[in-house]
Amino acid sequence: MREDTRKWVDFANMDLKLAILAMNDGIYVYSAYHAQQSVEKFLKAILIENGKFHTRTHDIKFLINLCKEIDEEFKKLSEIEADKLTFYATKTRYPEVEYEVSREEAI
């Protein structure tokens, strides 16, 4: 694995751990946010490793579609609607939005 890819994977793993910690502590808004960040960074790591990362975006659907060009198995992420996580990239981390994330939604 390339060094730059490894860094993205490390950050994705940290976001995943934070999502789990927030979930366990009942902080669902940050659980959703860090879950989105984790998926985004894992997808970007795939793209970096394959020389296809060329733009900064939080759009999970866009990233999944790029990853599907590398391996069709990524279509499974579309099938489970992983792109719905994109909403949590920005909408949930600013207090003026006042969006409440329920436990069921965070799961």
Beta carbons within 8 Å of 69's beta carbon, 6+ residues apart: 52
- Length, in residues, of the chain: 107
The predicted structure's pLDDT at residue 19:
97
Residues 29-65: tens digit of each pLDDT = 999 999 999 999 999 999 999 999 888 899 999 999 9
Domain borders along the chain are 3-106
User: Which CATH class, in words, describes the domain spanning 3-106?
Assistant: mainly alpha
Q: Cα–Cα distance between 93 and 35 in angstroms, integer? A: 13
The model's pTM is 0.90
